[in-house]
Structure 1
């Protein structure tokens, strides 16, 4: 069961953003979650070194440039969050983007990291490239990648299930963070091109046994349904999420296998590229996962 002394929700939300116009979606989701959970919102932006000759002069005068940037950012955030009920704090650090996120998040005992696509290549990689891979491997906290517009709290959630400890943590976390929401526990029979009744029934029974072993709050199981798909893991989950208007897919990450060797050997990077909805990544707590 959950430790009631710390509460069911993260104490901190860390929004990693470069504050460009395309970052409105993760910012809006972070604001919504901060209100829902009454969590402290910290907005982090990482300023890297100069990448063009034109940027060198301003980088050499980086103290003044950083102060000017922070002042403009704080003014923008004050306007953005005025009368919202959320009072975020701003952190500006210099250096490598991934290192900056890991360092700041590592100093937070209980947090969820939020990010999304950006016009900057380094932030775009949070979804599709090496930055996401390293964060998924090294970040102890959950990582929420936002794609969709925020139109209220998450209501339709899918948890991918390969019966591993990573999947167990994914389900337990989803049920804890989003109580009384509809959660579909989704397992894919990847070896089958067509559904076979016996295999489907066996997978459903295994899903029920998996639920028996999960630590869930009283009443949480009533909001969880099991579903068995067949075919390619990537295509099956992406298609189901699109057809069912799923708002959030929760994926367990196996840290020993690069970025997320998830259920049945599928690569989470490949699945992330095909999901149209928001994605929550949770690293297994075990150094050597059982998946």
Structure 2
């Protein structure tokens, strides 16, 4: 299990994006990793500004960039003072999405850390936000930060479906939160249960199917824990009957989890840029931070 060595923390210098920078620095301090603090000045906005100005636009642009650099340097200095981490600074002018993805690729980042909300965030769908667009575009794991970070993650919820990706998600969760307790959740539904009930299958027969499905899931959960070699004292197993999104959000609250680890893509993916429906709803509706850990195969 390779350690996390490099994090990228893009920021638009808003108060909400600041939470992600703090979390990135806390992680870096805990994991012994380096942090690249990135700010991109939108070239489109600069072009618009030039068109509006009657005065020397070049001189004003230089002053603007100088002021931005000062803000980023001040933020980095504060992170060093508070967390003992000295972020590397990366300022760029260009398209925000392209610059973030390109920089993460250039330094081979193990993890992107971004705030759930920045300027123009649309909470219910995340559509149009920089964070979601980067999540769609990048093939690297991303931590979407929603909470103010005060301490390392304590309890991590990992929904599992017993596929190879489930094991990868659990292993990556352990890399990000090595001291945390892990709550493994499997939500199951009996195939065609509604249609069977409509067709007149007795409730006792459906109940028997659910019992069998739960028993099988329990055995697979034990196998997953054994394969991952998780400390038994730091893992909880939960197998519940119900729809995945609902159960994830309910267990997040009931188990008091501060991080959810989930894959980018679910079954039935129609395109490489699409997020799975469960992932999309969890990103929109959870209160905990969300680590989306799918990576395109090399």
Say yes or no: TM over 0.5: yes
Flag structure 2 segments of 5+ consecutive residues without an equivalent: 195-205
CA distance in 1, matches of 2:29, 2:115: 19
Mapping 1:12-23, distance limit 5 Å: 12-23=6-17
CA distance in 2, matches of 1:136, 1:168: 21
Do the aligned residues in 1 keep the contact of 2:263 with 2:294 (CA within 8 Å)? yes
- 1:50 aligned counterpart, secondary structure: helix
Report the equivalent of 1:69. Answer: 68
Mapping 1:82-97, distance limit 5 Å: 82=81, 84-97=83-96
Report the equivalent of 2:220. Answer: 206
Report the equivalent of 2:158. Answer: 159
CA distance in 2, matches of 1:120, 1:155: 29
- Using structure 1 for the length normalisation, give the TM-score: 0.81
CA distance in 1, matches of 2:101, 2:48: 29
Aligned-pair CA distance for 1:27: 2.1
Number of residue pairs the alignment of both structures matches: 272
1:50 aligns with 2:61: no
Aligned-pair CA distance for 1:232: 2.2
Do the aligned residues in 1 keep the contact of 2:157 with 2:184 (CA within 8 Å)? yes
Bigger CA drift: 187-196 or 71-80?
Answer: 187-196
CA distance in 2, matches of 1:282, 1:13: 14
1:25 aligns with 2:19: yes
- 2:114 aligned counterpart, secondary structure: strand
**Which has a greater percent of helix?**
2
Aligned-pair CA distance for 1:132: 4.3
Q: Deviations over 1:142-178 (max 9, x none)?
A: 2000111223110100111122232221111112332
Do the aligned residues in 1 keep the contact of 2:18 with 2:115 (CA within 8 Å)? no
- 2:293 aligned counterpart, secondary structure: strand
- Using structure 2 for the length normalisation, give the TM-score: 0.79
CA distance in 2, matches of 1:259, 1:132: 14
Report the equivalent of 1:128. Answer: 126
CA distance in 2, matches of 1:235, 1:64: 50
Q: Deviations over 1:246-287 (max 9, x none)?
A: 1000002238544332xxxx4311221111100000114438
Distance 1:118 1:274, change over 3 A: closer
Rg comparison, structure with higher value: 2
Mapping 1:183-262, distance limit 5 Å: 183-191=182-190, 196-214=210-228, 216=229, 220=231, 222-254=233-265, 257=270, 258-261=273-276
Mapping 1:159-178, distance limit 5 Å: 159-178=158-177
